[in-house]
Structure 1
C-alpha cells in the first residue's frame, strides 16, 4: 500500500512539474510572437532607421535569451558546461563584432 502511495505521489509531482514547464513554454512562445509582431510593425511604420535598428537588436537579444533559457533548457541542472560554452561563444562573437566595428570607424 505504501509503495502504491509513493508511486501516485511521484506521478502527481511529475504531472504538476510538466504542467508548469508547459505553461512557461507557452508564455515564452507568446512573448516571442509578440516581439516578432512588434518588430514587423516597427519596420512597417517607416520610423527612422536610427531608432529601429537598436530596438530590433534588443528584441532579438531578448528572443535569443528566451530560446536558450526555456527551449534549450539551459536553466536546468546538469547543463552548466553547454551553457558555459554557448555563453563563451556569444561573448567571443560580441568581442569580434565590437572589434570590427571599432576598426571600421577609426
Structure 2
C-alpha cells in the first residue's frame, strides 16, 4: 500500500506572483489596521473634547459600524475569492439584525 504524493514544482514566475500578491495583501491589512486605530482615536477625541452627546453618540456609532464592516471585509478575508457564500450569509445576518433592531426601535419610540 504505497501512498503516492504528487509534488508540483512552481516556476520562478509563480513564486514571484505569489510574493507580490502576499506583499499587496499585507500592505492592505496594515493600512486598514492603521485606519481603524485612527477611527478609534477620533472617537476618543470626540468624547474627550466635550462635544454634545447629540453629536458624539452618532459619530461614535457610525465609526463603529464602519470598523465592523472593514474588519469583516479585510481581516476575515472576505475580499478574497471563494468566500461568496460565507459573505452572503454574514451580510444577510447583519441585515436581519439591523432590521430587527430598527423594528423594535420603531415600535417602542414611534
TM-score, normalization by structure 2: 0.88
- Does structure 1 residue 92 correspond to structure 2 residue 91? no
- Considering Cα pairs closer than 8 Å and 6+ residues apart, tell me whether 1 or 2 has the greater RCO: 1
- As a proportion of its length, which structure holds more helix? 1
- Shift of residue 58, structure 1, vs aligned partner: 1.0
- Aligned residues: CA RMSD: 1.2
Residue-pair matches, total? 102
Which ranges in structure 1 are unaligned for 5 or more consecutive residues? Answer: none
Q: Which one has the largest radius of gyration? A: 2
* 1:30-62 Cα deviation digits (max 9, x unpaired): 000000000011111111111111111111111
Which ranges in structure 2 are unaligned for 5 or more consecutive residues? Answer: 1-8
Provide the residue aligned with 1:53 in structure 2.
Answer: 57
Task: Output the CA distance in 2 between the equivalents of 1:86 and 1:39.
Answer: 26
TM-score, normalization by structure 1: 0.91
- Shift of residue 76, structure 1, vs aligned partner: 1.3
- Does structure 1 residue 82 correspond to structure 2 residue 86? yes
